[in-house]
Structure 1
Amino acid sequence: MKDVILIVGPTGVGKTKLSLILANKLKSKIISADSMQIYRGMDIGTAKVSREIQDDIKHYLIDVVNPDEEYNVSNFQEDAFQIIDNLLLKGQTPIVVGGTGLYINSLVYKLEFGNEEPNEEYRNKLWRIYEEKGSQALLDLLKSKDPNSLQTIHGNNIKRIIRAIEYNHTTGLKYSEKNDNFREENKDYNFHIYCLEEERSKLYERINHRVDEMIDEGLLKEVESLISKYDKNSISFKGIGYKEVVDYLENKTDYDEMLRLLKRNSRRLAKRQYTWFRRDNRINWIDIEKYGYDFEKIAEYILRDIDE
């Protein structure tokens, strides 16, 4: 049986901690499904595991490209399945960990992605529209071109809104019709999907604390170093944890406002992630508080559940 474990959930809930325990117990490897951890040098703001941990437990799809290079869900899908198949051939159970919903969906559903070339010039134009006029201007543009896309794309998911408009502009086709089989389950593998959850106010408090820790660990210096090497208009710098700091470093906001936005946007991301994963009724939800925040017990439960 092609068993694949997926640990999903909102930012800051403890996915990494659980995955490391499972990897140790199963003597297996971890595949990251985080659309920001693919970028080299973006370590603190994406909460990557340390080099020491990576030396101990192999992590795939971390540090794949530079921040100014293109890497999309189609690339992820191709790379992830190749790694999954190689691990299965070795008799190891792949452990996929992350909160990027579209990355997860590219594995558990039969999604097909075209190979159209990115239109960087048009994409940058759309980002300028967003920065100057806000998200509603993009939503209005998408509505005029492909209103059905608005049913599957969250209004705050600016990256995907831009992607849908760019796809229509480049190909003349509608993004909403790209995957008519968006909900056709991939039954080539036996996916065991677990989503970690926590009472919302407690999770938000944890996220606020994590942002403070990132600042203490040197997030500002990390971003300052990165924008000295790479184009700050690259899509990677639009990610939460980076766009807020870039604005601060360019004196568009003050320190307190940067910190407020970092925390607010991280909490909003967690809310969107919950909403995304609620759509899939195959997911087994695990309330970490009910286990007393004991991730060893959660790992034991998952292994028992898979055996059964």
Structure 2
Amino acid sequence: MQPETLAVERFEAAGQAPCEVGESPVWREPEQALYWVDIPARTIARLDAGTAKRTEWRLPEKVACITFDRHGTVLAGCETGLFAVTLSTALEASVRKLAAPVFPLPNMRFNDGRCDRQGRFWAGTMVQDMAAANPSGSLFRYDADGTLSAPIVDGLIVQNGLAWSPHGTTMYLSDSHPARRLVWAFDYDVETGEPRNRRIFADLNQFAGRPDGAAVDTDGCYWTCANDAGLLLRFTPDGRLDRSIALPVTKPSMCTFGGRELDTLFVTSIRPANGANEHDGHLLAVRPGVRGAPESNYAGVL
């Protein structure tokens, strides 16, 4: 499929330094602002869409994924567990550990995370040395009552791609390691938060790139960042690739819908260690002509 060449903007004020590993964009509709993280820099960033003012908070350890509760407190997946993070106007972040799995190996951390439509927070773990290709990662659920589940999906190398269909009855999960490059779909019980009937939804070994972070539009189509290919790929609910959008970065990492009409896809990116271009590591915005399904906040109170 020939990629579309839509207008892609840098959604940042001029002169901002690139992220090393930009991830987990979250649109906050009440604030008209976008939040995201830089994993190795241990930072949460915020950009006001109206003023282009950027704010950053530094955490004590690597932060890979974030969501918010109804009061605006951050729920963050980090190196040693899940944390409640309060972001102050004084650019200070106070953190409190909420829960942690028993990691089977040293040098692991949380990776991709997102809430289901009912406000349960899901996040997966990975061995930080990707070259080891170690399938010791697992997927966990953090319920509104503050309970962390046992591993629900295990055997993951680089967990990624969490998303839910608009009505929440299908859950998506990917493994973005070069040895996997798969997206799975599950039937999802919205009452119990249990995924069942795991099957391959999209095999990116047949396409360019690796399936990284993802989002779902109101048509129920699944958008995934094709890392290493510089593309956004859209798959219909039956797993058919129907759109491919070219991006000016090599390693797009995660996307989310935002803007006043939820018609903008915000895309974070990773800056390669070698051969990076001027856009790698920066935040992008593209309008693909469809609207996104709103993302849920965490249903509990942190």
- Relative to the length of structure 1, the TM-score reads 0.27
Higher helix proportion (structure 1 or 2): 1
Higher strand proportion (structure 1 or 2): 2
**Structure having the higher Rg:** 1
